[in-house]
Chains A and B, each alone.
Chain A
């Protein structure tokens, strides 16, 4: 038995780091895979953009870039919320419907002024996000099924508001709302600036606030997070609320940009957002992710879409094929990298 050893004088406590601090697995491969995880999408984006600007004269023009930026903005805002949800290990499939609902509500509300037009979608979509969060966090239901139901419910709500999709509300020209969506500042559309501001705020919240730490902790190991005092339920409710709010906001801005609340928008947007987030290096299993990566992921998807449109002969359905293939490749790569890292 080890009794004699246990009574032996302790000499190793403070000056023998080797025993306790020994790293498991190769630190170099760990760093390498972390690098690929975090910046792989950026590298692909740069390469694709370079190839595209060499291949198509119309790609690297100011108009095209500005167009791409604006059309990326809405998806990016949705993806920002999705990033938070996915880092907690969840998923939000309702964002497409909430995006459409937010647009319709904004257009409907614009009759009562810009404030109503902005607050109404935020309130309704935020509330649906709260319900999602409550069902996931308090009732412990599977996120994908809760948000799938919310997707259906929100779509139903949208149809109910628009007389089964027959009504389309318009946003008056020259209103503050229209200016917010259609105006430009320093050559870039206002939605782009709003998106950038939101991403900076999102990055600070995620990396530099306690709430952000809780988001990572909940996704990394929920039980441990609870034992360490992280408010697990509150964190989950908050991320789903945030996701709902951002989807509603994106929808409202999009409606302002289009000058109307289009009812058929947002179909499949949840899949695009998830693809973007995952491509950007956020782990679908939770606990690891980057706001900046999601932005890169969105840009990558939009650049590819733009290229498909440039080719002209290709149907826009190819976009879905490419997205699906991309998602599969990234997920395979992530799983593979993750497995290598877990060689302990």
Chain B
């Protein structure tokens, strides 16, 4: 059997930004019908490589050969026209434009008068999308679709533009398992049609499920490439992290000790019957001092909303929150914070840090009124608080006056933790505290959560990383469709039980008809 044709070949690609060598002499070869995993930690150079391939950046050195010709794309459009399409992490379509217009943007069918042939466009859009498991009124604005369906539209768009290479940058990060299934079946179809797929994901299961070959990047260099089947999980992780195989095995995957002493039986936080229209339906949970309670569930099950409702960031229709026996009044973020509730939000970059302000100002942000008299800030007291927490959390910054936006993800997360610890909270709500931060910082954050619980804080831990959830929590409350569907305690806190609780009812649920209310 003749080997499949080489579609894309990258030789010696390098790219530097002032102070950073983002990509250093990297090679990559893609064949028709190959699903290629591209993996690496944050900062390994994955996104730089993708941006070089798609014409967002120009390489400093090296060459890209596409279908036998040396190419140099100036814009993503050029790359797309040549046949390299990209599906980004967040759905990158136009929310207010109709589904069909999104699908056909830039290549709309035109009639003989030169204007758009809307009837044909809508008909073809419906036909195309049916093949992707999306059956909707294509004249509706895109934003009325679920995230998964939107992503399918994006994928259909890429394939329809005669892509020879499709790059998927964490396509499943906001998909439900069922939608992931659909995505995989589409990827297999692309593969069978001779399209090369570059698949970027942090989820190892997905890589093994769908990819045949792999390239591992670390610190801008290619450290491994070859068949994925030849590399077991542990080897993959250790290559990615650049660590000794034994070390990884020995440490396990998280830093949690997972066993905390709950001091006293009075809950420090008691949330009862929280209801937010369309989002939460009577969620109740309580946390005792020194306890880490995990909040499990699928994406969209209401985990983030529960945390936000408790912290007053999301207005509730009904329900009540009690902190250390005192009912919370007002239901606003400032009131919750005053009562001792602190929320580390999921979206660190846009809801957490204030990027243009310094580390110092960020740490002092919430506690400022307490360090002020008559509205005047006491700089000395601010300095002392900032100094304390920068040391305690080992925040790495050139000085307290460095802008937070310039720090690494892990250090930004620590700054946020410092902001809340300075408030001396009673309850800490952690929404995906280790997502997207490097391994070292991840371990530190996990260790810190343990310490804080040991100090008597009540902690609510939300994580999509099941290991983290299992190892970090004393109890796990499981949500589904905005309601509590189960709680695991003691020896039941295992991955298998958690999976069963999360997934059990989902499988039994009858299929809803979408067209009936569309």
Contacts and interface: CB of A to CB of B under 8 A. Distances in A.
Contact of B136 (A6, A21, A204, A230): A21
Interface string B151-194: 01000010000000000000000001111111011101000000
A186 interface: no
A18 B134 CA distance: 8
A343 B278 contact: yes
Interface stretch (B89-97, B366-374, B380-388, B428-436): B89-97
B145 A23 contact: yes
Contact of B76 (A16, A227, A288): A227
B146 interface: yes
B108 to A, nearest CB: 6
Interface string B182-219: 10111010000000000000000110111000000000
B131 interface: yes
B149 A20 contact: yes
B514 A6 contact: no
B5 interface: no
Interface-central residue, A6, A8, A207, A209, by most chain B CB under 10 Å: A6
B116 A208 contact: yes
B135 interface: yes
B1 interface: no
Contact of A12 (B95, B178, B515): B178
Interface residues of A, number: 50
Contacts of B96: 216, 219-220, 283, 287-288
B127 to A, nearest CB: 12
Given A27-B517, A208-B116, A226-B76, A20 B93 contact: no
Contacts of A12: 133, 178, 181-182
A5 B210 CA distance: 12
A13 B514 contact: no
Contacts of A3: 205, 208-209
Given A3-B209, A21-B149, A228-B106, A223 B92 contact: yes
B20 interface: no
Given A27-B518, A224-B94, A20 B144 contact: no
A226 B75 CA distance: 9
Contacts of A16: 133, 178, 182, 511
Nearest to A34: B141
A287 B146 CA distance: 20
B177 A208 contact: no
B123 interface: no
A57 interface: no
Contacts, number: 177
A119 B514 CA distance: 55
Contacts of B517: 23, 27
Contacts of B115: 204, 208-209
A27 B152 CA distance: 20
Interface-central residue, B86, B92, B180, by most chain A CB under 10 Å: B92
Interface string B127-147: 000111111100011011110
Contacts of B131: 14
Contact of A6 (B105, B149, B209): B209
Interface string A268-279: 000000000000
Contacts of A208: 115-116, 118
Interface in A194-232: 204, 207-210, 213-214, 216-217, 219-221, 223-231
Contacts of B102: 228
B305 to A, nearest CB: 12
Contacts of A27: 144, 517-518
A226 B79 CA distance: 12
A20 B148 contact: yes
A123 to B, nearest CB: 26
B391 interface: no
Nearest to B510: A18
A20 B94 contact: no
Given A220-B96, A221-B92, A287-B97, A13 B512 contact: no
Contact of B86 (A7, A23, A227): A227
Contact of A20 (B146, B466, B503, B513): B146
Given A13-B133, A17-B133, A216-B96, A24 B205 contact: no
B106 A21 contact: no
A2 interface: yes
B49 to A, nearest CB: 17
B88 interface: yes
B101 interface: yes
A172 interface: no
Interface string B255-290: 000000000000000000000011000000000000
Contacts of B179: 19-20
B93 A221 contact: yes
B495 interface: yes
Interface-central residue, B86, B97, B185, B209, by most chain A CB under 10 Å: B97
Contacts of A18: 511-514
A283 to B, nearest CB: 8
Interface in B72-127: 76-77, 80-81, 86, 88, 92-97, 101-102, 105-106, 108, 114-116, 118
A6 B184 contact: yes
Given A16-B511, A19-B178, A1 B495 contact: yes
B148 A19 contact: yes
A281 to B, nearest CB: 13
A22 interface: yes
Contact of B95 (A6, A214, A220, A229): A220
Contact of B105 (A10, A19, A229): A229
A19 B205 contact: no
Contacts of A7: 209
Interface in A174-207: 204, 207
Contacts of B135: 17, 21
Given A10-B185, A287-B97, A343-B278, A229 B116 contact: no
Contacts of B94: 216-217, 220-221, 224-225, 228, 287
A324 interface: no
Contacts of B152: 20
Interface-central residue, B86, B116, B148, B152, by most chain A CB under 10 Å: B116
B182 A213 contact: no
A18 B133 CA distance: 9
A275 B513 CA distance: 42
Contact of A228 (B105, B186, B495): B105
A228 B77 CA distance: 7
B144 A6 contact: no
B181 A213 contact: no
B136 A25 contact: no
A294 to B, nearest CB: 17
Interface of B: 76-77, 80-81, 86, 88, 92-97, 101-102, 105-106, 108, 114-116, 118, 130-136, 140-141, 143-146, 148-149, 152, 157, 176-182, 184-186, 188, 205-206, 208-210, 277-278, 466, 495, 499, 503, 511-515, 517-518
Task: Rank and list the top 5 A-B pairs by shortest CB-CB distance, nearest first.
Answer: A6-B209, A17-B135, A220-B94, A208-B115, A10-B185
Given A2-B177, A209-B114, A227-B92, 11 more contacts: A19-B179, A20-B132, A21-B146, A23-B144, A25-B144, A25-B278, A27-B518, A216-B97, A217-B105, A224-B92, A228-B106
12 contacts: A2-B177, A6-B206, A6-B210, A10-B182, A12-B181, A13-B132, A18-B511, A21-B149, A204-B115, A210-B106, A214-B105, A287-B95
